[in-house]
A and B are shown apart, each in its own frame.
Chain A
């Protein structure tokens, strides 16, 4: 490393352009070049390129998360654009994974976007998750949420969970063995018990706030820094502008991750929930 010239092409494996792009990360003591390399090697799977998925994808892409898998089989609808900032007016009618991929590439060509234009189900969820280091849930319905929870636990992947409705949102991180969504809610609510965003509405910016927290947690997990939002739920209310934290533990009676689990295989809830699993 004698007398390196400032114009040399590669700096510890980074190009001059990457040095500029990630300089504000590299400067951080907890990140540095080592951390930025970890981010570039991280493979994150994002479930849904909708309201929550948009800020997650944008920030992970900007941060240089090297591989972003996106699962979504839906097409962009005009009513999505009030909150789904990955997509633009010209994208209406196009597959969300395609629109998302283009937006991400425009932000950061370093990111390898893998488009999974499929409906997540009990047949493909585990195989998809096995290809990634972590899962980020940006789904908007209970069948998918339970499927994602179960598959992430069974494939031993950390899961960054988020949910939004009306003026509220919640987020947490499920580390396998330290509690899961079923520890909190063992079974899905009956069909129609909880309205969807489509029925009840949602303030668009809520997705930005919760999704940005999810992105921060995903980056922390990738870097192995700080305290993950594990064993803690954050509830956010935009009308009061309050954040509330509720602690939780693994439930020994949990049907999935408890002491005597009864769920060992994935379940497709769509048949009796009657909710289309899309956004």
Chain B
């Protein structure tokens, strides 16, 4: 298992559900187990859905930060397939 610093990041502000999760998922699929992905999503529905979808597929939310514009930066740790 490889742990790296966050070298994967994506800004999905303005991308609606479920496309924000679709895009996040595609990036996670190409990462290796244990790698970290930073995703910035809007508050509200995206914040309710994206973390839940990520957890349902075996990934881990390791950090949630609220940014100045009230959007959220999630740090997701890639789980096992």
Residues of A near any B CB (own CB < 8 A): 1-6, 11-12, 14, 19-20, 23, 26-27, 29, 32-34
Contact = CB atoms under 8 A, between A and B. Distances in A.
Contacts of A27: 18, 21-22, 25, 53
A37 to B, nearest CB: 10
B9 A33 contact: no
B45 interface: no
B25 A11 contact: no
Contact of B8 (A2, A6, A19): A2
B35 to A, nearest CB: 10
B70 interface: no
A4 B27 contact: yes
A31 B4 CA distance: 27
B10 A32 contact: no
B29 A19 contact: no
A23 B19 contact: yes
Interface in B8-22: 8-12, 14-15, 18-19, 21-22
Given A4-B10, A6-B12, A6-B14, 20 more contacts: A1-B8, A1-B30, A2-B7, A2-B8, A3-B11, A4-B9, A5-B11, A6-B11, A11-B23, A11-B26, A19-B22, A20-B19, A26-B25, A26-B26, A27-B53, A32-B25, A32-B26, A32-B29, A33-B25, A33-B29
A34 B25 CA distance: 11
B79 to A, nearest CB: 11
Contacts, number: 52
B9 to A, nearest CB: 5
Contacts of A6: 10-12, 14-15, 23
Residue from B12, B15, B21, B25 with most neighbouring chain A CB atoms (10 Å): B25
A190 B18 CA distance: 56
Contacts of B11: 3, 5-6
Contacts of A33: 25-26, 29
B9 A3 contact: yes
5 contacts: A6-B10, A23-B22, A27-B22, A27-B53, A33-B29
Contacts of A23: 18-19, 22
B42 to A, nearest CB: 12
B65 interface: no
Nearest to B7: A2
A1 B32 CA distance: 13
Contacts of A5: 11
Contacts of B30: 1, 12
Contacts of B29: 12, 32-34
Residue from B15, B18, B23, B53 with most neighbouring chain A CB atoms (10 Å): B23
A26 B22 contact: yes
